[in-house]
Amino acid sequence: MNNFMSLISGLLFGIGLSISGMMSPKKVIGFLDITGQWDPSLALVMGGALFISIIAFKFILTKSSPICENQFHVPSNTKLDKAIIIGPIIFGIGWGLIGLCPGPALANLYTLDFATLSFVIAMVTSMVLTDKILSKS
Amino acid sequence: MNIVNFTPIPSLIGGILIGVSACLLLLFNGRIAGISGITKGIFKKNSGSDKLWRSLFILGLILGGYMSHLFGLEIGNSKSVLHLDTKLIIGAVLVGVGTSYGNGCTSGHGICGMSRGSKRSIFATIIFMISAIITVYLTRGLA
């Protein structure tokens, strides 16, 4: 059941990204270009998603457990350390440079576009290596 | 500033679907729909069942992109937009390192974390937005 729900949730996420315009690097860069030719569309993507989840998360997280599992797996770290500053700075530079963040990069794999595939391979390899190095230190 | 290419209705509907997806994953599986975290976990020394739900989510994500394309609902994709060059690989490495070190991306911090009212995520989202906006400002016009 939880595997089925993962697939359904991923499917809805992918459809949402695609309908919203987030899968287009041009549209993402147009959104980030606030001082130039600005395309505000993607503010509505985040607004729409937050509108639903801010309300629903409140109810969901008051339950003692999720429907298919024994417990919620929600991050408990609340420290504002250097990782939460430097990580997002680095991520933002890459996002602004190309116009793809992890979700849209992966969802775009269906296009079988060679440059997109190269982006995903480099991105995932970097994620995994960073994680390996951090977990050793 | 000029406003161009504005697609409010599809973007709002797409955003709502992303919100519903995040709620389903939390309600049924107790998991945060953070794409970088889900992806990273596939390659950790976790149990097979942990790898399976993560892989199925990513499979669904790709199928979802393909389905909206088939039904003509998609607003653009990355096909023939990106070029395999040094800039693309540097961008990909920065996205990978940054989301891994900062423990989240647009979905995990920007949507799920902010919805939980997590201070870390609100902080992270403000920082990556500012960083990306400055990057676009500085590189605009560069080919």
- Closest CB to B12: pick one of A22, A44, A67: A44
For A59-112, write each residue's pLDDT tens digit.
999 999 999 999 999 998 889 999 999 999 999 999 999 999 999 999 999 999
| Most trustworthy range by pLDDT among A42-56, A69-83, B128-142 | A42-56
B26: which 2 tokens?
A: 């939390």
- Closest CB to B82: pick one of A25, A72, A94: A25
What percent of chain A is predicted at pLDDT more than 70?
99
Among the listed residues B111, B95, B128, the one whose alpha carbon sits nearest the alpha carbon of residue B14: B111
Which residues are within 8 A (CB) of B51 and not within 5 positions of it... i.e. 6 or more apart?
A: B41, B42
Residues of B in contact with A39 (CB under 8 A): 3-6
| Predicted confidence (pLDDT) at residue B6 exceeds the cutoff of 60 | yes
Q: Are B12 and A48 inside 8 Å of each other by CB? A: yes
B39/chain A closest Cα distance in angstroms: 8
ipTM of the complex: 0.96
pTM as predicted: 0.96
Calpha distance A31→B36 (Å, rounded): 21
| Predicted confidence (pLDDT) at residue B143 exceeds the cutoff of 80 | no
**Phi and psi torsions of A7, nearest 5°:** -60, -45
pLDDT at A15: 98
For B27-57, write each residue's pLDDT tens digit.
999 999 999 999 999 999 888 889 999 999 9
The sign of the torsion formed by the CA atoms of A11, A15, A21, A23 equals positive
Tell me the β-bridge partners of B3: A38
pLDDT at B142: 64
Q: Are A49 and B19 inside 8 Å of each other by CB? A: yes
Calpha distance B4→B48 (Å, rounded): 47
Calpha distance A29→A7 (Å, rounded): 29
DSSP codes joined into one string, B97-122:
HHHHHTT--IIIIIIIIHHHT-HHHH
For B79-129, write each residue's pLDDT tens digit.
989 999 999 999 999 999 999 999 999 999 999 999 999 999 999 999 999
- Single-letter residue type at A92: G
- Closest CB to A52: pick one of B20, B31, B88: B20
Calpha distance A40→A37 (Å, rounded): 10
Structural contact between residues A15 and B64, judged by C-beta atoms closer than 8 angstroms: yes
